[in-house]
């Protein structure tokens, strides 16, 4: 069972620093925070061992030619958890939530080929008799999530963020050409998905490469935009008790401006433009039900382009940032 942890300024600064650069050295983070690298290392180990915090290497599927899909399923009440767990075990899903009364599942998937997409949507799910309905929509553009972090984690000044960003070892510099993975890349990316701060020696052991080869390959993948490092933190660590998913309908001419506006809301942990009648999807994190109500009526209510909105509380997260969570 995860225990409650009281966070101080160093902890919150560490969280924000890792969001800026997931592989920043403890000495560099300590320099920015004004504390020793040993203190930063102790705080990181405490948070990571609690299960509340992970740094993960994330594949940008668009740079590899993958398709990103948002999938919703309605299931019979006795089957939803088992189906959600089965989806979480798949390597092509990166988050899986149980919604509402436990009869609906929401998940995100990266499909490498049309055959993989058809296998999941037309075969696996369509032939499961306890799945009552399936809807799937392509994710077209992300406003919050992935490379664009959750605004609620902001704890550093603009100068501190700029200092960290300027020293980032792995930065995106590519021209936009599609990246092709080579032999050994799968093992490297799998290891980084479990621990984005894994050392070069550990990664060399997994891939069979030398440490210098591992470093060069990581530099290439990051420079090309195919790999980045994300900081995944459980909202409960920051005393956010309510999570929900939203599906909104916005006129096409207002979609980009509305999505960018959402990106500035600290309640929004994820927001993306999608295909389908609800063309703007989001994940909301709030302190409690009253805060969620205020956000719906005041925060979203201030965005006039939103024509319709559907909400669904997340009652359990089975998988997030590519990792299955303990029940």
What is the spatial distance between Cα 180 and Cα 186, in angstroms, rounded to a whole number? 11
For the domain made up of 143-148+239-314, give the CATH fold. Alpha-Beta Plaits (3.30.70)
Compute the half-sphere exposure of residue 81: CA atoms within 13 Å on the CB side of its CA: 7
pLDDT at 292 over 90: yes
Per-residue pLDDT, 205: 95
Is 252 strand, coil or helix? Answer: helix
173 backbone dihedrals φ, ψ, rounded to 5°: -135, 0
% the chain with pLDDT above 90: 53
pLDDT at 2 over 50: no
* Cβ atoms 32, 9 nearer than 8 A: no
302 DSSP 8-state letter: T
Q: Residue 246, Cα to own-chain centre: how many angstroms?
A: 16
Confidence band of 66 (pLDDT split at 50, 70, 90): confident
Per-residue pLDDT, 1: 43
pLDDT per position as a tens digit, 189-206: 989 988 999 999 999 999
User: Could you tell me the pTM of the whole model?
Assistant: 0.80
315 closest CA partner among 153, 79, 96: 96
* Cβ atoms 71, 109 nearer than 8 A: yes
67 closest CA partner among 122, 140, 155: 140
């Amino acid at each position: 069972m995860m225990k409650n942890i009281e966070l101080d300024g160093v902890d919150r600064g560490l969280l924000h620093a890792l969001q800026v650069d997931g592989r920043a050295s403890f000495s560099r983070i300590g320099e920015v925070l004004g504390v020793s690298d040993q203190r930063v290392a102790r705080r990181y180990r405490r948070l990571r061992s609690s299960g509340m915090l992970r740094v993960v290497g994330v594949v940008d599927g668009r740079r590899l030619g993958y398709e990103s899909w948002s999938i919703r399923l309605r299931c019979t009440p006795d089957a939803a958890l088992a189906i959600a767990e089965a989806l979480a075990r798949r390597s092509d899903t990166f988050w899986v939530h149980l919604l509402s009364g436990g009869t609906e599942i929401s998940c995100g998937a990266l499909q490498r080929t049309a055959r993989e997409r058809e296998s999941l949507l037309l075969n696996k799910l369509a032939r499961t008799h306890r799945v009552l309905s399936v809807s799937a929509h392509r994710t077209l553009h992300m406003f919050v999530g992935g490379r664009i972090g959750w605004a609620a984690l902001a704890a550093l000044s603009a100068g501190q963020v700029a200092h960290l960003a300027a020293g980032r070892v792995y930065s995106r510099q590519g021209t936009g050409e599609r990246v092709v993975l080579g032999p050994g890349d799968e093992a490297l990316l799998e290891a980084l998905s479990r621990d984005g701060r894994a050392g070069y020696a550990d990664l060399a052991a997994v891939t069979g490469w030398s440490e210098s080869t591992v470093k060069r390959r990581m530099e290439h993948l990051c420079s090309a935009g195919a790999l980045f490092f994300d900081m995944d933190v459980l909202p409960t660590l920051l005393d956010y008790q309510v999570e929900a998913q939203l599906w909104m309908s916005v006129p096409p001419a207002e979609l980009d401006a509305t999505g960018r506006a959402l990106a500035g809301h600290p309640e929004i942990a994820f927001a993306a433009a999608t295909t389908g009648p609800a063309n703007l999807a989001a994940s909301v994190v709030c302190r409690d039900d009253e805060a969620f109500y205020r956000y719906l009526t005041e925060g979203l209510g201030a965005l006039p382009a939103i024509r319709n909105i559907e909400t669904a509380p997340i009652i359990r997260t089975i998988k997030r940032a590519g990792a299955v969570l303990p029940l």
